[in-house]
Structure 1
Amino acid sequence: MIATAYLIAAILQQAAAAPAPKESGEIVVVGERLKNWRGRFAVRGGKSTCKTIVSTGDAEIDAIGCQAMATCLPPMQARIIASDAKGIQRDARKDLKAALGLELAQCCQNRRDALVVELVDRRFEARQERNNAKN
């Protein structure tokens, strides 16, 4: 009986110490706020710059837009530049640019999704640490 009580107490203590699963709602909220973000990304020479034009009001969320573009654009840069080459017929150029735009948008969306989850995880862990420090 005493051994059972210790076992139950140990299980309850582990359950209390285990972090609660993060809310998927928070991921949705951050994602929705990011939809309102607008920025300008430029690559000149080997240097890239990103500037927030319409902020979400949260610098960490704003940074996600720039980070996604900084990951996705450089590997595509040569193909984007090549799409402006002389000799490409107008319709072919239009199709090529449309395909590149879709590829870039998909890459950015995938990267943004991953960065949103990372941000929510970091914030969740920070809240847990603050709560643990209070107790």
Structure 2
Amino acid sequence: DVAVIQSLYQKEAVKDFVTEYGQVIVDECHHISAFTFEQVMRQVKAKYIVGLTATPTRKDGHHPIIYMQCGPVRFSMSAKAMAEMNPFEHRVVPRHTDFQMPPDPAVVTIQDVYGALSNDALRNAMIAADIVRAIESGRSPLLLTGRIEH
């Protein structure tokens, strides 16, 4: 089964079935110190708990909760070692656009920037053309976005 934490904690109660699993894998376990996450994990009775994260040390100092809920770190790898193992080349290909920030950057939130980027028709057309070109050349591009309407 796959579940998002919000579906396991509703109406200030943890779903009963969380106690029935023998193994629980927690992706992005650095969020485990959040109230809802911690409430759910306190009810887990699994013999095996695996926590996955690229950021086990939290700036707010709450990382001991990760270890209390998931146990000690069993494996870690530096970004450099991971990059050396990858069978592909990492390249940055700058794509310059005419995108302009909204007029007064002092009052602009990051959500304003994301909104402006996703509404930039010329930039979107450039991205779409890049994807079409990649597909035509036999590649399999992956486009990630955080906005459904985008």
TM normalised by structure 2 equals: 0.23
Where is the helix percentage greater, Structure 1 or Structure 2? Answer: 1
Higher relative contact order (CA 8 A, sep 6+): 1
Larger Rg: 1
